[in-house]
Structure 1
Amino acid sequence: MRVTEQQTFGVLANNLQRSRARLLELQQQVSTGKAVRQPSDDPATFNHIALDKASIAAIDQRLRNVTFGQTRLDLADSVLSSTTDALARVRELAVQFRNDTNGPAERVIGAQEVRQLFAQIQQFGNTELNGQGIFTGTSTHGRTTGLAITAPVSLTNGANDTLVVNVDGVTSGTIDLTAASATFSGSQLAALVEGRINADTSLANAGKQVSVRFETDHLVIESSDHGDLSSVTVTGGTARTALGLSGGAATSGSSPFALTASVSAGVGNTGGVAVTAGRIVDDNQATLDDYMIRFTSTTTYDVVDVTVPPTVARGASNAGGVAVANAGLVDPAQLKLHDYRIQFTSSTQYSVVDVTAGTTVSSGNAYASGDSVTFDGMQVVLLNGQQGGPQTGDSFDINLSPRTVLSNQSYVSGNAISFEGIRVTLTNESGAPAAGDRFAIVTGLGYQGDSGVHQIEVGNDQTVPTNVSGDRIFTPSSADVFSTMKQLITALRTNDRNGISDALGGLDDSLSAIGSVHGEIGALSSRLTTNSSQLEQAKGFFAQTLSQTEDVDLAKAISDLTLQQFALEAASRTLSSLFQNSLMNYLR
């Protein structure tokens, strides 16, 4: 077989080209440290590499989740520790001022410190991480919280079945709740109000919706939007009184825990004025005292602070041995600001007389030493002394001297009444106010968040919660921290020893509830620590597998590269030598 120089040259040139390609491949392996860089290098191996990288990326995301969740839980842990310390100080003050060595002046000073601790714990509850409250749940919503009503509630078409509401600044038309007469349970009432509000054309066109629920004894109407601009206000309608929405408290969704001012019309008002929900517009001015707007005529009113101690005076001609053991406020919304008398009709019975109105509040009441005598938002405790019990004709005079906040103010229908951080609006509905009409404003604090839980993924079909909603920590129904502290502040301000003792029991319940949730947060943090360790181990396994599959043996690659360089050089010389011996080299 004849082998031409062209064939020889072709074979050598091809070998040289392959050597160069192999040399380039080895150079890339050495420079990148990777044996497989693209599917064409090794399709099966490249597929394994892609799967390993995806697994590592998923683990990295879960580790980031764990880091964020751990940060959130650690912050919650720290805040709850601070809250427990603050509540322990409040409890210490309650124990201190329950002691009878302290008088009214000392207790008022104690109330001032408790008020500051209240603000501090409110601030703890509103703690944020990356702009989001850690005790919010998942969001905060503006809302109106109605007054207490007794279900079932009857609504009649044309009589008490309409509402007008403002949701996030958009006012509805007149909302008709029923076409006939019907009676509704609490849950049915909530579903009815929610459905009819959301069906309103004006609100629907603006994209506004609400959710409504019945909580124990009152309605809550909540905007579906969240944040500073979310709000709900009931501004009109014939159903307001029946639904407990003539008054109440309104808050925005600016923070999880917001101060509230709940307004209610006095029992026995004869004028035609309606009131919208009260608002706290300046937390810094809010005192947590309770107030009353009292009309002195059809055109003027006073605003008074009713968080003051009742005065109880023993009758000058009393012959029995009964003495006053304690006096205080039990329901500021029921106060009439009248003068009263407890009159003993026998040694075992008494009557309560409204001296101002000249009427009998109650009669034939059985007397027992140490029992509370409760009437029109106040209570008095009488106790037999060393000289025995009461005698027929014995009496005790009770009055309340509130602090005047605003005096002789001109009333204009629809104009806001603002004082000490509170804003209330009264409007003539069926007529003007009457002299003696009153509207109570009771302050407090409400939770604006929800019960939602933030879950993070830590594995396939595995999630871990990273928060506990604030209503479980600060405002559970059986251990409401803020309600108890408000009770203590009022008791201290009004020199109510029994109220201080009652608040002390509530503080113990609150500390127990917070301690329970604190332990839960610690357990979640411990679980995330374990998850983090497991994820790091899994990441290490996949990283090792990936390295074994993808990474080049650098020592071998460098050795192969050196050999390939020698081989290429030899091939080049051989080809050059062949060209020099070719006949073409002599044809010139």
Structure 2
Amino acid sequence: MRVTDRQHVDALLAAIQGYRRDIFDRQEQIASGKRVNRPSDDPAAYQRIEQFRYVLKTANRRRTSVEEGQRRLTVSDGVLDSTSNLLQRGKELAIQQRSDTNTATERTNVAKEVHQLFQQVVSLANTEMNGRSLFAGFETETDAFALDAASASASSSNTGGATVSASVASASALQPHVYEIAFTSSTQFDITDLTTGQLVSSGNTYTSGSPFSFNGLSVTITNGSGPPQTGDRFYVRSEYSYQGDDNSIAVETGDRETVATNVPGSQVFSGPTANVLTVLQDFHQALVTNDEAGIETAIGQLDAALTQVTNARTEVGARIKRLDVVRASLDLLSLNTESLRSDFEDADFARVASELAALQTQLEASMATLTRHFQTSLLDFLR
């Protein structure tokens, strides 16, 4: 078959266009660092690259959540460790004060330390992380525990038949103290803050069923089987209540797999078996009222509270270890997936540079051949 000059020129032009396309492709690969910049470059490879990107995106999202969960659990572990130490100290004090050789003055002095332990535990229970409550479940915008409740009791040594009840009159005026209402006669009583040892008021007139208020509390003493007698004592205190919920803040660790990264306060401070705050308040009240039986009871209660916190800490530790394993797995998955993505997507600079140089040489040669062809054709025409 005879190849005409026209066919030869067309072939050269087609080759030159092809070289230019290939040169542009190699230049784009060098500029972007990628072998595949669009689906048309390599449809099969582009599909695999998209799959790798999805895996990487999912792994990175999970790793971010896991790291946040690890921080939350680590802080929780530290809080529970401190709480355990405080409860252990409380138990030691209870054992020291259980003896009938301890005086009321000694117990009152120890009560000051116990009150400090109590306040520290309250502070720990209301720990925040990044401005959010750690132990309030989903209710992270509020303190886990708030001083908004009251309780009242009558001394076991009372000879009268009166009963007592208490409620909150003004939560903002409450203090975490225990108060004694002591009847100096059947019709008058004094109020003393046993936590501070200060007299609140004296010579108050008693009327059965008529409420009276002090320091944010509203108290009502009522004749039951009989009126109060001289020397009868009633105790009133403000208490903390849980403000959160029981929800767990879970992080995704795999397909349909999650790990809880918080401990609701209801599962460690106010339950499930012991109310840690109430236990400490009971112990404090037993000390300031010189209640030997109450101190003995506090030993068992503190032991139960300590076991509860220890169990919660054990669970937290197990979750931390699990998230450590998950994070290591995610790191390995990301590393391997990134390597695969790079194999499919990233350009081999040395190879691409070599191909670019070869294409430029071929383009220059084709251009030179085309130029010579036109020069020969022009000479033939002039002849």
TM-score normalised according to structure 2 size: 0.82
Shift of 1:302: 7.4
Match of 1:49 in 2: 49
User: In structure 2, how many angstroms separate the alpha carbons of the residues matched to 1:458 and 1:496?
Assistant: 52
Distance 1:116 1:306, change over 3 A: closer
Q: Which residue identity does 2:25 align to in structure 1?
A: E
Question: Residue 178 of structure 2: SS of its match in structure 1?
Answer: coil
Matching residue of 1:204: none
Q: 1: distance between equivalents of 2:381 and 2:328?
A: 77
Separation in structure 1 between the aligned mates of residue 272 and residue 26 of structure 2, nearest angstrom: 73
Per-residue CA deviations over 1:458-507 (Å, capped at 9, x if unaligned) read 11111111112111111225322111111111111111122111111111
Determine the structure 1 residue equivalent to 2:248. 453
1:288 and 2:83 correspond:
no
Cα distance in 2 for partners of 1:477, 1:50 equals 48
Partner of 1:32: 32
- What is the identity, as a one-letter code, of the residue corresponding to 1:290? Y
> Residue in 1 aligned with 2:192?
305
Whichever residue aligns with residue 59 of structure 1, its letter is A
Give per-residue Cα distances to partners, 1:188-240, cap 9 Å, x unaligned.
xxxxxxxxxxxxxxxxxxxxxxxxxxxxxxxxxxxxxxx5xxxxxxxxxxxxx
1:265 & 1:72 partners in 2: Cα distance? 39
1:507 aligns with 2:275: no
Q: How many residues align?
A: 359
Residues 27-56 of structure 1 deviation map (CA, whole Å, 9 limit, x = unaligned)? 222333321111111112111110110011
CA deviations over 1:214-268 (Å, ceiling 9, x no partner): xxxxxxxxxxxxx5xxxxxxxxxxxxxxxxxxxxxxxxxx411122442679987
Cα distance in 2 between the residues matched to 1:581 and 1:293: 128
Quote how far apart the aligned CAs of 1:289 are: 0.6
CA contact (8 A) 2:125 2:265 kept: yes
1:566 aligns with 361
Show the counterpart of 2:283. Answer: 488
- Higher RCO by CA contacts (8 Å cutoff, separation 6 or greater): 2
Match of 1:478 in 2: 273
Match of 1:445, SS state, is strand
Give the match's secondary structure for 1:262.
strand
Contact 2:87 2:306 in 1 (8 A): yes
- 3-state SS of 2:41 partner: coil
Deviation (angstroms), 1:558: 1.9
Could you tell me how far apart the structure 2 residues matched to 1:109 and 1:293 are?
21
Where do 1:16-27 residues align within 5 Å? 16-27=16-27
Q: Indicate if the aligned counterparts of 1:257 and 1:447 stay in contact, CA closer than 8 A.
A: yes
Residue 262 of structure 1, aligned match among 150, 167, 172: 150
Unpaired runs of at least 5, structure 1: 141-226, 228-253, 309-401, 427-435
Distance 1:530 1:477, change over 3 A: closer
CA distance in 2, matches of 1:453, 1:128: 16
Output the CA distance in 2 between the equivalents of 1:506 and 1:446: 18
Q: State how far apart, in whole Å, the 2-side matches of 1:492 and 1:275 are.
A: 21
Provide, for residues 55-107 of structure 1, a one-character-per-residue CA deviation record: whole Å limited to 9, x for no partner. Answer: 11001111111101111111111111111111111122222222344321221
Instruction: Confirm whether residue 534 of structure 1 aligns to residue 329 of structure 2.
Output: yes
Give 1:584 shift.
8.4
Kindly indicate whether the alpha-carbon contact (under 8 Å) linking 2:244 and 2:265 is maintained by their aligned counterparts in 1. Answer: yes
Partners in 1 of 2:200 and 2:381 — Cα distance? 123
Q: Secondary structure at the match of 1:464?
A: strand
Structure 2 regions of 5+ residues with no counterpart? 155-160, 206-210, 221-228
Structure 1 pair 268/552, CA: closer, same or farther in 2 (3 Å)?
A: same
* Counterparts of 2:235 and 2:105, CA distance in 1: 26
Q: Which moves more between the two structures, 577-586 or 34-43?
A: 577-586
Q: Quote the Cα distance in structure 1 between the aligned partners of 2:198 and 2:29.
A: 87
Whether the 8 Å contact between 1:110 and 1:492 is mirrored in structure 2 is yes
Distance 1:536 1:275, change over 3 A: closer
1:278 and 1:425 in contact (8 A); partners too: no
Give the letter aligned to residue 504 of structure 1.
I
In the alignment, is residue 135 of structure 1 matched against residue 135 of structure 2?
yes
**Overall identity of the aligned pairs, in %:** 33
Distance 1:302 1:585 in 2: 134
Amino acid at match of 1:469: P
More helix by share: 2
Shift of 1:282: 5.0
Partners of 1:576 and 1:450 in 2: CA distance: 84
Structure number with higher strand proportion: 1
- Code of the aligned partner of 1:105: T
Q: Is the 8 A contact 2:176 2:237 kept in 1?
A: no
SS in 1 for 2:69: helix
Residue 318 of structure 2 is aligned to residue 523 of structure 1: yes
CA distance in 2, matches of 1:559, 1:115: 79
**Cα distance in 2 for residues equivalent to 1:456 and 1:572:** 63
CA distance in 1, matches of 2:117, 2:152: 28
> Is 1:36–1:42's contact at 8 Å kept on the other side of the alignment?
yes
Q: Give the SS at the match of 1:582.
A: helix
Q: For 2:201 and 2:263, locate their aligned partners in 1 and report how far apart those are by CA, in whole Å.
A: 43
Task: Return the alpha-carbon distance in structure 2 between the equivalents of residues 585 and 529 of structure 1.
Answer: 82
**Pairwise CA distance, 1:288:** 2.0
1: distance between equivalents of 2:96 and 2:52? 65
Aligned to 1:564, the other structure's residue is in SS state: helix
Deviation for aligned residue 1:293:
11
Distance 2:192 2:27 in 1: 88
Contact kept, 8 Å, 1:263 with 1:439, in 2: the verdict is no
Q: In structure 2, how many angstroms separate the alpha carbons of the residues matched to 1:263 and 1:107?
A: 22
Partner of 2:343: 548
Question: In 2, distance between residues paired with 1:279 and 1:32?
Answer: 68
State the superposition RMSD in angstroms: 3.7
